[in-house]
Amino acid sequence: MEKILVGLKRVVDFNVRVRVKTDGSGVETDGVKMSINPFDEIALEEALRIKERGEASEVIVVSIGPAEVQQQLRTGLAMGADRAILIETEKPVDPLGVARIFKSIIDQEGADLVLLGKQAIDDDNNQTGQMLAAIWGRPQATSASKFALNGDTASVTREVDAGLETIEIDLPAVITVDLRLNEPRYVKLPDIMKAKKKPLEQFSIDDLGVERGPEVRAVTFEPPAERERGIMVDDVAGLVAALKDKGLL
């Protein structure tokens, strides 16, 4: 296959304890470590392995977000992607808008495979891949924990509620990846230097002529209620008494 497109979303690093802004307008990102969405790193790792096996010729990383998203794209290039496309926008874009942007890039570039994360850990939407497959009119396999390419098809093992399910899909297609697919590689210093010279193209949403569509407007953000401290009981009788006390038995 020729090209694999990989979506990289910039999110608050998964090790950071997320804090809600005091005015409730969103989540604090000032001075907070930002990273590639962990599922997207797995998607890129898989794309790179496919290329290294000689089954693809080019891996392109794509990100939609503010100018700072360049940092995550450069990390993607240092991991081994061939080039990067940044769609710069200060306003967050909903999954439908992101799916439309990917479709527009597919129309310009062509793509044999689009690899995305199963979800972005900031909004936990789990929608973009599904919407893109629908708009593109191509098959999808979500939450992949294993897959193999066989020419014009892919055999994908998916993590579903009941366990594992293996399906066969025609390519080109969208595959969204789950945690157990692989362990992403670490970036080495020489690769970071090399990545600085790799091409990073930049467009605006208007350049692509993409409609953002109806937007989900977040009215207010609130931190979850503090958890009450637990109590220690000495024995089962104590547990039963404590549960009765709370009206749970």
- CB-wise, 60 or 64, nearer to ligand AMP? 64
Min CB(92)–ligand AMP separation in Å: 8
Min CB(233)–ligand AMP separation in Å: 41
- CB-wise, 65 or 139, nearer to ligand AMP? 65
- CB-wise, 43 or 149, nearer to ligand AMP? 43
Sheet holding 153-160, edge to edge: 163-170, 153-160, 140-150, 173-177, 113-117, 3-7, 58-65, 83-88, 200-204
- CB-wise, 76 or 80, nearer to ligand AMP? 76
- CB-wise, 84 or 169, nearer to ligand AMP? 84
Long-range Cβ pairs for the range 184-193 (8 Å, 24+): 184/41, 184/42, 184/44, 184/45, 184/79, 185/45, 185/48, 185/79, 185/80, 187/75, 187/78, 187/79, 188/78, 191/78, 191/79, 191/80, 192/74, 192/78
Which residues of this protein are in contact with ligand AMP, per CB under 6 A? 7-9, 37, 39-40, 62-65, 93, 95, 98, 116-117, 119-120, 123, 125-129
Min CB(193)–ligand AMP separation in Å: 25
Min CB(23)–ligand AMP separation in Å: 24
| Contacts for 20 with CB less than 8 Å, ≥ 6 apart | 26, 27, 28, 221, 222, 223
Min CB(53)–ligand AMP separation in Å: 22
